[in-house]
Chains A and B, each alone.
Chain A
Amino acid sequence: MLHCDQLTLRQGRRTLLQPLDWKVRAGECWWIAGRNGCGKSTLLATLAALRHADGGHIRLCGQPLPQLTPRQRAQRLALLPQASHDAFDYAVQDAVAAARFAWSDSGDTPQRVAAALDAFDLGRLATRPLQALSGGERQRVALASVMAQDAPLILLDEPSNSLDLAHQAALQQQIGRWRAQGKAVLLVSHDLQLAPACASHALLLDEHGAHRQYPLAELGAEHLAAVLGYPLTRLHHAGHPCFLPGHPS
């Protein structure tokens, strides 16, 4: 679904990402982990064509990324950005419905919007203005918009930000459903419990642009600890791997 060939990212003279060969297939969920400022969000922005790659090529669903029109890209890829700022008081359901822009209306928009609102427990808030929402509610609106966009590749930048526990669990289930539907998910997250529970693979980025790829089963605490700069312990909990800070002793 997504092919990166020698993809390189730079910021000024600093290398954020050394040449990366990477394949993301349908049904996979990649956890992208690394310290603050190591280039995780920049990587997502590049994949979403919000900025140019500084080297290498990206192919999305078999086609070179720069050759796709914005509408074609939006039909293939959805991005949940890290922060959003609302200047105007759109209603929740209008904001979610607007995410259907790339698709010509075949009459199923109301059902899709209702399903997306329902998946993130927003039914009661549908007519509320965005500016009246709390941080967690606003984040759920952004997630519902991503769902309504219905793209096969989903890029999530810190999706569990400001979500309470129950809604984090709902997010985890939704990522599971997306994978079962054959969508691929890229997940940037600092959540050492949610991310390993959702992911099938991990891409670790260090501060010098070096990177390693692991199937999640082979991701050891020492690999992650080396990248995050803090000792970690790998546990198995509630049917999923997870990581805890510190040594077991």
Chain B
Amino acid sequence: MSHSLTLDRPLRGALRLPTLPLLTLLTLLSGGSLLLACSSGSIALGAGELWLAASGHGSTLADTLLSLRLERALTAWVTGGSLALAGVLMQSLLRNPLADPYVMGVSGGASVGALLALWLGLALWQVDSAAVAGALTLSALLFLLARRDFARSSGTVLLLLTGVLLSAACGALISLLLTIAPDAQLRGMVFWLVGDIAGTPLRPWPWLVLLPAALLAWWQAPAINLLALHGDHALTLGVPVAMLRRLLLVLAALLTASAVSQGGSIGFVGLMVPHACRLLCGPDLRRLIPAAVLSGAALLVLADTLARTIVAPMQLPVGVLTALLGVPVLFWQLQRTRRRLA
């Protein structure tokens, strides 16, 4: 029987594409979403105009539109990629396909930190740092409260409940901050909270978080695979489990904080994208990590383009769109889990 086995060419079911074509396809999709975002808007730019503007020979209007749209699209790209990667890492860390920075309250922690800084009227970099501090604090709290639930299958429920409770606590703190905030700050805080990329300047540090984090996670992918497969017992297979868990926790928190400080609370990207990618390429993280980053980025660029064009001249917050897309996906996953338990 083993003679018919071809281990160098794993067959993972009809839906699953080989690695190279898959990643090429997703790279093209990801780049294509940027082009689409640059060309669409109240004044559409054709391919020729885009090319002229990009090479510096376009009209002033096209130049301005391109730089505005590209900046916004790149911000959406890095935010979506960060959220999707954070989702993949949290799901592997918690051994639970329902984990995501939004569900587990990590983005809530970042929001509380950032809103606190906004309420105090601090500078932009201080708001960013406060978001990072909030996300890290919440992750540490989650890890501390639920560290015994990782190994047990029955721990899944406890773990999710812990996340939901922390998330609820953050929600209460956010409401409190909004209630006591002076009117001058309130509008900015609310808009920030809804999840929107409009008006966020393109910043270097989210890229400096996403790129090293993705490389580090990809390099550690075989170990993370074992952690996702075996939990605590990955130690007996040679994985330094305690160190790896801390690494994943810090990476997920940094990615979440970076995404939240750029786009506010954008829900469900971290949940939806890893799911869709697992269907396409299987759970192996050497494929899943690049696939999730590329498709998360593309999804948010497309969602943001849609958000600013669908009811133009009005702009929807992109978080509204991702949540409306994400909730049915979550229901579908729950239904699948139900069928498996039955």
**Least CB distance, A186 to chain B, in whole angstroms:** 13
Say which size band chain B's interface belongs to: 35 or more
Q: Which of B1-9, B130-138, B203-211 contacts A (4 or more CB under 8 A)?
A: B1-9
> With an 8 A cutoff between CB atoms, is A7 at the interface?
no
Shortest A111–chain B CB gap in Å is 9
CA distance A89 to B4 in the complex (A): 23
A87 near B97: Cβ-Cβ < 8 Å: yes
User: In the bound complex, what is the Cα–Cα distance between A97 and B230 (angstroms)?
Assistant: 14
Residues B228 and A127 in contact, CB atoms below 8 Å apart: no
Is the Cβ of A98 less than 8 Å from the Cβ of B12?
no
Chain A, Cβ-Cβ closest to B4:
A123
How near does chain A come to B41, taking the closest CB pair, in angstroms?
40
A171 within 8 A of B: no
Shortest B247–chain A CB gap in Å is 14
| Residues 196-245 of B contacting A (Cβ, < 8 Å) | 222-223, 225-226, 228-233, 235-241
* Contact between chains at A71 and B236 (CB < 8 Å): no
In the bound complex, do residue A70 and residue B229 qualify as a contact, i.e. CB atoms below 8 Å apart? Answer: no
Most buried by A among B91, B233, B284: B233
Q: Is there contact, CB below 8 Å, between A117 and B5?
A: yes
A98 and B222 contact, CB distance less than 8 A: yes
Q: Is the CB of B7 within 8 A of A70?
A: no
Establish whether residues A87 and B240, one from each chain, have CB atoms under 8 Å apart when the complex forms: no
- What residues of chain B lie closer than 8 Å to A84, measured between beta carbons? 230, 233
Complex Cα–Cα for A60 and B156 (A): 34
Residues of B within 8 A of A91 (CB): 10, 12, 282
Bits for A142-159, please: 1 = Cβ < 8 Å to B, else 0: 000000010000000000
A95 touches B8 (CB 8 A): no
Contact of A86 among B229, B236, B284 (CB under 8 A): B229
Cα separation A86 to B225 with both chains bound (whole Å): 12
The answer on a CB contact under 8 Å between B283 and A88 is yes
CA distance A71 to B226 in the complex (A): 13
User: CA separation between A69 and B242, bound complex, in Å?
Assistant: 13
Q: Which residue of chain B lies nearest to A91 when distances are taken between CB atoms in the complex?
A: B12
**What residue in chain B is nearest A44 (Cβ atoms)?**
B236
Would you call B236 and A87 a contact (CB within 8 A)?
Answer: no
Interface residues on A, range: 35 or more
User: A73-B238, A81-B233 are contacts. A94–B284 as well, Cβ < 8 Å?
Assistant: yes
- CB within 8 Å: A-B pair count: 108
Q: Which residues in B have their C-beta under 8 angstroms from that of A8? A: none
A102 interfacial by beta-carbon distance below 8 Å:
yes
Give which listed residue, B11, B226, B340, contacts A98 with CB less than 8 A: B226
**In the complex, how many angstroms separate the beta carbon of B274 from the nearest chain A beta carbon?**
10
B278: chain A residues within 8 A (beta carbon): 88-89
Interface residue ranges of B2-55 to A (CB < 8 Å): 2, 4-5, 7-8, 10-13
- Are B233 and A79 neighbours in the complex by a CB distance under 8 Å? yes
Bound Cα distance A84, B13 (Å): 24
**Which of A73, A75, A78, A98 has most B Cβ within 10 Å?**
A98
A114 CA to B153 CA in the complex, in Å? Answer: 29
Query: Would A123 and B97 be within 8 Å (CB), given that A85-B153, A99-B237 are in contact?
Result: no
A131 to B340, CA, bound (A): 9
A126's nearest neighbour on chain B, judged by CB, is B5
Take A89-B282, A90-B225, A98-B226 as given contacts and tell me if A114 and B235 are in contact as well, using a CB distance cutoff of 8 Å: no
Specify which of A85, A98, A113, A123 is in contact with B1 (CB 8 Å cutoff). Answer: A123
Whether B72 sits at the interface, judged by CB under 8 Å, is: no
Give the chain B neighbours of A118 by CB distance below 8 A.
Answer: 1-2
Query: Is B69 an interface position by the 8 A CB rule?
Result: no
Residue B308 interfacial (CB < 8 Å): no
Contact A101 B12, CB 8 Å, known A88-B97, A88-B228, A113-B7? no
Question: In the complex, which of the residues B2, B152, B283 contacts A117, with contact meaning CB atoms closer than 8 Å?
Answer: B2
Q: How far is the CB of B332 from chain A (nearest CB, A)?
A: 15
Contact A101-B8, Cβ < 8 Å, known A50-B236, A90-B284, A117-B2: no
- Tell me, yes or no, whether B96 is within 8 Å of chain A by CB: yes
Query: Which B residues touch A81, using CB under 8 A?
Result: 230, 233
Nearest CB in chain B: distance from A216 CB, A:
27
> What 7 additional pairs, Cβ within 8 angstroms, besides A75-B238, A84-B230, A91-B12?
A49-B235, A69-B240, A70-B241, A79-B233, A95-B229, A98-B226, A101-B226
Mark B residues whose CB is within 8 Å of A: 1-2, 4-5, 7-8, 10-13, 91, 95-97, 152-153, 156, 222-223, 225-226, 228-233, 235-241, 278, 282-284, 340
A-B residue pairs, 5 tightest by C-beta: A123-B1, A74-B238, A85-B153, A102-B238, A88-B283
Show the binding face of A for B, using Cβ within 8 Å: 48-50, 69-71, 73-75, 77-79, 81, 83-91, 93-95, 97-99, 101-102, 110, 113-115, 117-118, 121, 123-124, 126-127, 129, 131, 149
Show 16 A/B contacts (Cβ-Cβ < 8 Å), sorted by A. Answer: A48-B235, A49-B235, A70-B241, A87-B91, A89-B278, A90-B225, A93-B5, A93-B10, A101-B222, A101-B238, A102-B237, A102-B238, A126-B5, A127-B10, A129-B13, A149-B237
